[in-house]
Amino acid sequence: MTPRVSNIEVSEAFSETCAHVGRRIRDRRTYEGLSQQKLADMVGMSKSVLGDIERGCGNASLRTLVKLAAGLNVTVADFFGNGAFHNYEYGTVDLHPGGSEPYQ
């Protein structure tokens, strides 16, 4: 019999992933010098929804993540990674240079 994943495990993993993605979006937004309002306007969402996503409280759809990635000039995959962001214009941009520690 194949072991099943519990709802608690899924819920915890989901919460951790939302928090991680939110931090990555916030880090990239601040690196780009954008306010929450400016990025929200660029991608057609409210500032409060963007704030929820950045705090890991919002459940961003794939469509929303694609819009945010386009607005920040990165790939959606960059939001889930731990390393440098890929910038379409300039190549790789490391927001946490100088260390071998993974992004926390």
**Domains (range + CATH), the chain:** 7-93 (1.10.260.40)
pTM assigned to the model: 0.76
pLDDT at 96: 47
**Is residue 44 left, alpha or beta, with left meaning phi > 0 and alpha meaning psi from -120 to 50?**
left
Strand residues in 1-104 grouped as ranges (E): 85-87, 91-93
Query: Is the pLDDT assigned to residue 88 strictly greater than 70?
Result: no
Handedness of CA 101, 15, 30, 63 (dihedral sign): positive
Residue-wise pLDDT tens digits, 19-75: 999 999 999 999 999 999 999 999 999 999 999 999 999 889 999 999 999 999 999
Q: Which of 14, 25, 42 is nearest to 85 (CA)?
A: 25
CA dihedral 66, 71, 77, 82 (to 10 degrees): -140
Query: Is the pLDDT assigned to residue 91 strictly greater than 70?
Result: no
